[in-house]
Amino acid sequence: MSASPPPASERRLLWLLAAVQFSHLVDFMIIMPLGPEFMRLFGISASQFGVLVSAYTLASAAMGLLGVLWLDRFDRKRTLLGLFAGFIAATLMCGAAQSHLALLLARTVAGACAGLMGAVIMAIIGDVVPPERRGSAIGTVMSALGLSAVVGVPLGLGVANLWGWRMPFWSLGVFAGAVWLGLWRALPALNGHLSASPGQSPGTSLLSIWTPKLALGWLLTFSVVISSFLLIPYLSPYMVGNLGVSASQLPLVYLGGGAATLLCTRWIGRMTDRHGPVRVLASLLVGTMVPHLLFTHLPPSPFPVVALVFALFMSLTSSRVIPTIALIASRVPPAVRGRYLAVNMAASDGASGIAAWVSGLMISTAPSGALEGFGQTGWIAVGVSTLTLCILWTLGRSTARLSAAPT
């Protein structure tokens, strides 16, 4: 399928939405390398720090479920600006926190706003961008994931080393405030979804997202994410404890993985437009089985080998979200798209938490620091990806073409 080039206004909008994604991804990721500093300053244990991290995703999942009650009832511009303002305030609260409890509260508010922001962003793309360019649009916005790893986190850590742990949050709040002003100026009113079909009440419209055909999309997202997060939380300790990578080399490994993801996401977006989301997602599900098994069974190896396999792992695994969202968003009526994607975000967050918990039950740490059972977890991830292919086949049977269905 050949897609016409997007107009300048559409490109500008997509980069603003990517900047919103960049803001909340950096906000989510920056807290993890600052963990030792928080444990020292606030006198908290590793498990308490784990709660601090998980509060973000749990709040995001909870708000995704609550968002189903109201998310499509307002102009999408006002909704996004309101949620983004709440996120900015919470990020500034993180920088001002004087205790572990205050920081936990700020992280919870930030996560609650961020999860719904992601749903509204994808709903805006579904409303504004025609199906033949939707994959590229999602790829542009999702390139924020690679950019946050390549630029955001290293820059944030550098700022923390120079001016203390509070400064990254304050700097991010200022950056997000500038993006908020850009959205306020550039984003048009988006209220076309408020025009319900004749005879269709909001309640009837809401019930329509719970049909088996649409609920299957949530199951697809859940399985795509769970197969990834069975492995992702434990990549760093595995590389240090099993593969011989030093702690000082980890930033370089993640820098390479982020750069590969940044390049891959936009290319996968174009392939989604050209070949359809079903084919691209099926190819990625099969393709990620190789790095999932290769990385989890890799013996101690030279640093370039580990970095190369990690870059392959991250770029392919992270790109699977692009055809997934393109497929499910195109099947949902605009009147309920925001609420449907809010539940989809909750499914994603829930899958990441469940996967990390399940893999934690199967993995143990040897006295030497090596992880035991990680190879078995890799096989389980491949099994889940195989199951995901079956879900995709079932979902794709009702699609007339192996491409994004028209809105």
Q: What is the pLDDT of residues 161-202, one digit of tens each?
A: 788 889 989 999 999 999 999 989 888 777 666 665 444 444
Q: What is the pLDDT of residues 6-27, one digit of tens each?
A: 667 778 888 888 899 888 888 8
pLDDT in tens, 345-398: 778 877 877 787 787 778 777 887 787 888 899 999 999 999 999 988 888 775
Q: 50 is written with which tokens?
A: 């784990």
Q: Is the pLDDT of residue 286 over 90?
A: yes
> What is the spatial distance between Cα 76 and Cα 78, in angstroms, rounded to a whole number?
5
> What distance in Å separates the CA atoms of residue 324 and residue 392, rounded to the nearest whole number?
9
What number of other Cβ atoms are within 10 A of residue 327's Cβ?
A: 27
pTM given for the model? 0.71
Is the separation of the CB atoms in 243 and 306 below 8 Å? yes
- Give the pLDDT band (50/70/90) at residue 128: confident
Alpha carbons 265 and 159: distance in angstroms, whole number = 28
Structure tokens that stand for 228 in this block? 């990834």
Question: What is the rounded average pLDDT of the residues 141-160?
Answer: 73
Reported as type and span, the H/E element at residue 151 is: none
pLDDT at 221 over 90: no
> Distance between CA 20 and CA 277 in Å, rounded?
24
| CA of residue 326 relative to chain centroid, distance | 14
- What H or E segment, with its residue span, contains residue 364? strand 364-365
Which of 89, 83, 81, 84 lies closest to 107, judged by CA?
89
CA 13 to chain centroid, in Å, comes to 19
Query: At a CB cut-off of 8 Å and minimum separation 6, what does 156 contact?
Result: 26, 30, 168, 171, 172
Please state which architecture CATH assigns to domain 11-190+203-396: Up-down Bundle (1.20)
Pairing of strands 364-365, 371-372: antiparallel
Residue with tokens 């001002």: 96
Q: Is the pLDDT of residue 322 over 90?
A: no
